[in-house]
Structure 1
Amino acid sequence: MNEAGTPTDRPEHPGFREAFWYWLKLGFISFGGPAGQISIMHQELVEKRRWISERRFLHALNFCMLLPGPEAQQLAIYLGWLLHRTWGGIVAGVLFVLPSLFILAGLTWIYLDFGDLTLVQGVFAGIKPAVVAIVLFAAWRIGNRALKNNVMWLLAAAAFVAIFVFDVPFPFIVIGAALLGMLGGRWLPGKFQLGGGHGAADQHFGAAVIDDDTPPLAHTRHSHLHLFKLVAIAVALWSLVILLLPAGTLTDMAIFFSKAALVTFGGAYAVLPYVYQGGVETYGWLSGAQMVDGLALGESTPGPLIMVVAFVGYVGGWTHAIFGSDHLFLAGFVAACVATFFTFLPSFVFILAGGPLVESTHGDLKFTAPLSAITAAVVGVILNLALFFGWHVLWPEANAAQPFAGGFEWFAALVALAAFIALWHFNASILHVLGVCAVLGLLHSYLLPL
Structure 2
Amino acid sequence: MTGSEPMVLAYPTLSEATRVWARIAALSFGGPAGQIAVMHRILVEEKRWLGDDRFLHALNFCMLLPGPEAQQLATYIGWLTHGVRGALVAGLLFIAPGVIAIMALSWIYAAFGDVGFVAGLFFGLKAAVLAIVVQAVVRVGKRALKNRAMRAIAAASFAAIFLFDAPFPAIVLAAALIGWAGAKAGLDAFRPGGGHGAVGKHHVADAQTLLGEEHIQTDGAADRGAFRAGFGALVLWLVPVAALWLLAPGSVFTDIAVFFSKLAVLTFGGAYAVLAWVAQEAVGTYGWLAPGEMLDGLGMAETTPGPLIMVLQFVGFMGAFREAGWAMPLLAGTMGGLLATWVTFAPCFAWIFLGAPWMERLRRNAALSAALGAVTAAVVGVILNLAIWFAVHVIWREVVTWQAGPLSLDLPVLGSIDWAAAALSALALVAVFRLRLGMATVLGGAAALGVALHVAGLA
Q: TM-score, normalization: structure 2?
A: 0.90
Select the residue among 424, 439, 442 that pairs with 2:448: 439
Is the 8 Å Cα contact of residues 72 and 352 (structure 2) preserved in structure 1?
yes
The separation in 1 between residues aligned to 2:444 and 2:220, in whole angstroms, is 45
User: Which aligned pairs between 1:39-438 and structure 2 lie closer than 5 A?
Assistant: 39-187=37-185, 189-193=187-191, 198-200=196-198, 203-204=203-204, 207-214=208-215, 216=217, 218=219, 222=223, 227=227, 229-245=228-244, 247=248, 248-322=251-325, 324-325=326-327, 327-358=328-359, 367-400=368-401, 403-404=412-413, 406-438=415-447
SS at match of 1:11: coil
Aligned to 1:14, the other structure's residue is in SS state: coil
CA contact (8 A) 1:129 1:412 kept: yes
Structure 1 stretch displaced more, 9-18 or 383-392: 9-18
Unaligned segments of structure 1, at least 5 residues = none
Could you tell me whether the CA contact under 8 Å between 1:127 and 1:438 is conserved in 2?
yes
Give the counterpart letter for 1:114 in structure 2: F
Distance 1:384 1:390 in 2: 10
Distance 1:295 1:194, change over 3 A: farther
Partner Cα separation in structure 1 for residue 195 and residue 428 of structure 2: 26
More displaced, 397-406 or 257-266? 397-406
Task: State the secondary structure of the residue aligned to 1:367.
Answer: helix
Counterpart CA distance in 2 for 1:46 and 1:198 is 16
**Displacement, 1:109?**
1.1
Pair 23,447 (structure 1): closer, same or farther in 2 beyond 3 Å: same
Deviation at 1:409, TM superposition (A): 1.6
Partners of 2:93 and 2:86 in 1: how far apart?
Answer: 11
Q: Secondary structure at the match of 1:259?
A: helix
Q: Secondary structure at the match of 1:400?
A: strand
Deviation at 1:80? 0.5
One-letter amino acid of the structure 2 residue matched with residue 419 of structure 1: A
Distance 1:66 1:104 in 2: 27
Contact 1:220 1:359 in 2 (8 A): no
Q: Which residue of 1 aligns with 2:405?
A: none
- Give the partner amino acid of 1:296: G
Q: Paired residue for 2:406?
A: none
CA distance in 1, matches of 2:294, 2:152: 29
- Name the aligned partner's letter for residue 30 of structure 1: S
- Do the aligned residues in 1 keep the contact of 2:167 with 2:277 (CA within 8 Å)? yes
Change (3 A) 1:98 1:196: farther
RMSD: 2.5
Q: Is the 8 A contact 2:78 2:86 kept in 1?
A: yes
Q: Is the 8 A contact 2:183 2:367 kept in 1?
A: no
For 1:234-273, what per-residue CA distance to the aligned partner results, in whole angstroms no more than 9, with x for missing partners?
3322232225546211111111111111121111001011
Superposition deviation, residue 21 in structure 1: 2.3
Distance in 2 separating the partners of 1:249 and 1:43 = 42
- In 1, Cα distance between equivalents of 2:413 and 2:44: 51
Q: Is the 8 A contact 1:126 1:440 kept in 2?
A: yes
Judged with a 3 Å threshold, the aligned counterparts in structure 2 of structure 1 residues 318 and 361 are, in CA distance, closer, same or farther, namely: closer
The structural deviation recorded for 1:385 is 0.7
How far apart in 1 are the matches of 2:23 and 2:366?
Answer: 31
C-alpha distance in structure 2 between counterparts of 1:66 and 1:75, whole Å: 11
After TM superposition, give the deviation of residue 40 of structure 1 in Å.
0.8
Does the Cα contact within 8 Å between 2:271 and 2:309 map onto a contact in 1?
yes
AA aligned to 2:232 is I
**TM superposition score normalised by structure 1:** 0.92
Q: Deviations over 1:256-310 (max 9, x none)?
A: 1111111211110010111112211222211211111111111111101011100
Paired letter, 2:135: F
Percent identity for Structure 1 against Structure 2: 45
Q: Secondary structure at the match of 2:368?
A: coil
Deviation, structure 1 residue 346: 1.7
Q: Structure 1 pair 112/406, CA: closer, same or farther in 2 (3 Å)?
A: farther
Q: Name the CA shift for 1:303/1:219 in 2 (closer, same or farther; >3 Å).
A: farther
Structure 1, 387-396 or 411-420: larger mean CA deviation: 411-420
Q: Give how far 1:365 is off.
A: 6.4
Structure 1 residue 28: deviation in Å? 2.2
- Asked if structure 2 preserves the Cα contact closer than 8 Å seen for 1:222 and 1:357, the reply is no
CA distance in 1, matches of 2:5, 2:305: 32
SS at structure 2 position matched to 1:165: helix
